[in-house]
Structures are given as structure tokens and as C-alpha cells.
Amino acid sequence: MLDAAIPRQTPTQLHELTVLQAGALLRAGELTSTELTADALARIERLDPALHAFIHVTAEQALRRAAQADRDLRSGIDRGPLHGIPYALKDIIDAEGVPTSNASWLSTGRVAGSDSAIEGRLRAGGGVLLGKLTTYEFAVGGPSFDLPFPPARNPWSDEHVPSGSSSGAGTAVAAGLVRVALASDTSGSIRGPAFHCGAVGLKPTYGRVSGRGAHALSVTLDHFGPLAWTAGDAAAALQVVAGADPAGSRCADVPVPDYLAAPARGVAGLRIAHSPGWYAHDPATAPEIVTSIERALRVLEGLGATVEQIDLPPYDLFNACGRIIFAAEAFSVHEEDLRRHPRSFGRYTYQRIMPGAGVLATDLLRAYQARRRLTRALDEAVFGTCDVLITACGQTTAARWADFGADWPPPRLASDMQTIPFNVSGHPAASVPTGFAGNGLPIGLQVVGRAFDEASVLRVAAALEVELGQRNRRPPVPEAGRTSCDPT
């Protein structure tokens, strides 16, 4: 057992420092980025053989960038909130000179010729890339064993999956291998692993963060954002990667506010919408999740927010809309490889993408129209009178490895996330930890904001983190060589 019950306010090990704490020490000259990076690399070397969070570790490059960050700070150059801070990228996001595997046989050996927009901003912001993180193949599929790399493990339990597709990000952050990971979320791929690994996962507004240079899955549903241990760390990462990208056709030119200030603003005066209709009476929802959301609402009321119960448009319509768009767009991305190299896909991936071949243009257009209606209805139902919406994120704790067979279909539990509506609508949404279920696995809730108002989402996340999030409770990280979660 590592790190249990160490209060965040008094970290005793480097990996426990938040971005802001580490940044303060770097700027005060009490810590160097090189020390911070070397510590992270040593922790990865020690723990990752059992966790499989990383596909590729860029140790030498990281130490070079850390040394440069130290030199810059000594010269009075401060590149921003992630200056000198180690981070990692989901392995669908390009970093120049580093392989992007997409966790697929189809991409093995491919080395990125240039930085993605995200990596470009992080590099310019003085961040230190530790490496590339495990993902489901092309950010889809499932935790498969027929891919070039083994699936990441949930540090909270040998028997349970970390969820996906940003599985390595969830695992690495929860295990303290890295404070911040940047990942993608097409139907819940940031929020799912954050939920099941007890971290904060923020899917920003569609277009807030450029996806240029990241492998597309479903171009109108793909979102990019941070997965971090704390709301403050997520805010710091978002501050760096958010903003217009003239070279990115789907990135919005909307001013970026001061996210770093958001967590300290509290929730007094915030108007919070709550709609239990999607989950509270669904027998698939674990009762502990319902009660944890109710408790969170009471906490927020106690902090000066007001809570109003509202009705949302039917969940099934959001889901249908998202699934159809996803299927058609994902098929269009992979059509050529499906034709030429069908056996190079993992079985899960192939069987998830190929059905999109049958989506008619009329049905896709109908889904796009439905998206407009649903988004408008959501705006009217929630954001006409309220600042944020609180709803369920996952309906159960993490699925078990034993539920995943070698063949299709994946278990139903794997899809018990209520995240896709906000990929359809594009609203910012975060998975925020609220504690632990009786089986010891993390649970949480989802906070949704107005378009481009990630700041309010972060305010709520930070408030709940202080009251409920138990950020000082870290998982009992497995040591190398443990293989008890092998589902075979």
C-alpha cells in the first residue's frame, strides 16, 4: 500500500504534489523540474510494468525538456501553469518524433512528424512530456488482448477494468504516475476512466481545445481535454491547451477565461439544475451513486448554491443520436483500412466500427437535426435558469475483467455511462469523484456547464473535491509482476 491517508495539504512525496503546489516550489527554487521528472520516471519504471498505463515512455526527451524548463525559470522565463510539470498524452495525440501507435497494429512504427495542436501548446508552455498513454484501439473498441499493447489496469482493483478509452490516462493519474494527462472523449472516454479511477475528467466544450494532430474517431463528437487528480490540476492543463487554432477547422475562436482562478471562487450563488430522471429510477444505477449525488447536492446547497430540479429531454434520444453519428463518422475515418486490412483491427474495434457502413445518409442527417433540437432543448431546460447541471456519470462501479470475453459483444456494464449526451450537445462536462462504493471502488457524478463555461464546472468540481473527493486517498498501487487481473 502506498500513500494511503496522506493529507494533500502536506504532501510527503513528490508525486503527491498538485500542479499548483509543484509550480510554486519550482518558482521558489525549492524544487527543479528535473527532480520532479526523474521522480516520475522512476515511479513509472517501478509501477508501470504491472499497470500498463504507458505505451511509450519518453524518458530522455523528458529529462531534456525538464532541464530546459529549469534553465528558463532560472532566467526568469515562466511559460505558464504547466512550466516544468510532467504530463502525458493519450496515444492518439501526436508529439513530434514520438511514435503514435493508436494502440493498433495498423499504426505500429508510425512516428509523428509534427506536434498536434495540444502538444504544441504544452511544449510551448514549458510542460514535460513523459510519454504516451494506453488507449483502446483508435479510442474505440474495448479492453482487448489482441492488440499490440496490453490493456491498462485499474489501480483500485485487480479484478476491474479502468474503463476507456483513455484507460492509461485514468490509471496513470490515479496511481500517481502523472498529475495530468491529455486525452480525447468521443462518448465518455475521458469521463469514464476518471469516474472508475477516482480522478477528475473534464471534457471541455466542443471546439474549446483543438483536435488537430490527434487521430479522429468521430469528428463532430471528438472532444479533447484533461484528466487529472484534482480540479485545480485540470484547470491548469485546460488553461494551457484551450483556445483558438487557426489551423484547426473545428476549433472555436472564443476567448479563454482564467480557469486557474475558478476553483477558488466557490459555489455561493451558483444555480444548479438537477435532473434525477435519467438515472435515479433506472434499476441499473447503483443506489450508492444516487445517494452520493444527493449528498453532493446538499453539500453544494450548504456552500451557498441553489438547487433546482428540472426535466431533461429523453436520454434515449441523445443516445440514439450520438450512436448513429458515431457509427457513420467512425466508419468514414476507417473505411479504407476496413477494406484493405480488416484483420489488422482488434476484434472489438472491427465489430464496433464496421456496422457504420450501413448507416444511410438520410439517417445521419436526421441525427444531425436531432442534435440541434436536443441541444436547444437542453439549453432551454437547464441553462435558461441555471448555471450548471448535475447528473450521473457512471451508473455502476467499474466492470470486471471477467465480463470481457475474447469475442463480441462487450458486457453491458461497459456502456453504463451517461456521458454521450454532452458529446452530442457539445456542452462542457466533468466527471467529479464523490467517494467510494461499498466494494471500495470510486464513484462520482457529472457536472455540466453552459457552452464555453468550463469555469463554472471547475468551481463545482473544486468545491466537491474539498468536501467529498477524498483526494488524499490513493489506490494501493500494485507492484510489478502481479498478473492476477489477467482475464484469461
How many residues are present in the chain?
488
Rule CB under 8 A: is residue 320 a binding residue for another protein? Answer: yes
E strands of 290-365, at which residues?
Answer: 306-309
Binding footprint of another protein, residue count (CB under 8 A): 63
**Residue-by-residue DSSP string for 184-249:** EESSSTTHHHHHHHT-EEEE--TTTB--TTB--SSTTT-EEEEEESSHHHHHHHHHHHBS--TT-T
- Restricted to residues 385-414, the positions that interact with another protein (CB under 8 A) are 396, 407-409, 412
Site residues for another protein, window 52-81 (CB under 8 A)? none
**Catalytic residue chosen out of the listed positions 101, 116, 189, 425:** 189
Task: Please work out, in degrees rounded to the nearest 5, the angle formed at the alpha carbon of residue 152 by the alpha carbons of 212 and 454.
Answer: 45
The nearest distance, CB 251 to another protein, in angstroms, is 7
In the complex with another protein, which residue's Cβ is closer, 26 or 289? 289
Kind and range of the H or E run holding 324: helix 315-340
- Helices 59-74 + 33-51 axis angle, to 10: 160
Of residues 95-154, those binding another protein (CB under 8 A): none
Candidates 250, 256, 255, 260; CA nearest to 224 is 250
**Residues with Cβ < 8 Å from 124, sequence gap 6 or more?**
79
- Of 370, 386, 429, 457, the one binding another protein by CB under 8 A: 370
Could you say whether residue 347 binds another protein (CB under 8 A)? yes
Binds another protein by CB under 8 A, chosen from 206, 229, 259, 404: 206
Catalytic residue flag (residue 90): yes
Task: Tell me how far, at minimum, the Cβ of 205 lies from another protein, in Å.
Answer: 5
Give the end-to-end CA distance of the chain in Å, rounded to a whole number. 26
Verify binding: residue 30, another protein, rule CB under 8 A: no
Q: Which lies closer to another protein via its Cβ, residue 80 or residue 411?
A: 411
Q: Does 338 bind another protein (CB under 8 A)?
A: yes
Q: Which is nearer to another protein, 327 or 390 (CB)?
A: 327
163 catalytic? Reply is: no
- 53 phi and psi, to 5 degrees? -75, -30
Contact 46, 175 (CB under 8 A): no
Establish if 457 lies at the interface with another protein (CB under 8 A).
no
- Measured from the CB atom, the residue of 100 and 397 that comes closer to another protein is 397
Site for another protein in 280-299 (CB under 8 A): 281-284, 286-287
DSSP string, 55-96: EEE-HHHHHHHHHHHHHHHHTT----TTTT-EEEEETTB--T
Least distance in angstroms from the C-beta of 261 to another protein: 22
Catalytic residue among 165, 167, 184, 187: 165
Residue 426 touches another protein, criterion: CB under 8 A: yes
From the CB of 139, what's the least distance to another protein, in Å?
A: 17
- Cβ count within 10 A of residue 253: 9
Contacting range for another protein; rule: CB under 8 A; set: 68-76, 139-147, 250-258, 385-393: 250-258
440 touches another protein by CB under 8 A: no
Determine, following the binding rule CB under 8 A, whether residue 341 of this chain makes contact with another protein: no
Helix (H, G, I), strand (E, B) or coil at 317: helix
Q: How far is the CB of 94 from another protein (least distance, A)?
A: 21
Residue closer to another protein (CB basis): 209 or 227: 209
Our finding on whether 205 is near another protein (CB under 8 A) is yes
Number of other residues whose CB lies within 10 A of the CB of residue 369: 11
Select from 132, 323, 459, 471 the one that contacts another protein (CB under 8 A). Answer: 323
- Rg of the chain on CA atoms, in Å: 21
Burial letters 332-346, b for 16+ CB under 10 A, else e: bbbeebbeeeeeebb
DSSP 359: -
165 flagged as catalytic: yes
Does residue 356 bind another protein (CB under 8 A)? Answer: yes
DSSP class of residue 99 equals B
Q: Which of 207, 44, 72, 29 is nearest to 129 (CA)?
A: 44
The one catalytic residue in 33, 90, 132, 203 is 90
Q: How far is the CB of 75 from another protein (least distance, A)?
A: 38
Residues with catalytic roles: 90, 165, 189
Q: What residue ranges bind another protein (CB under 8 A)?
A: 205-207, 220, 249-252, 281-284, 286-287, 316-317, 319-321, 323-324, 327, 335, 338-339, 342-343, 347, 350-352, 354-360, 363, 365-376, 378-379, 396, 407-409, 412, 425-427, 451-452
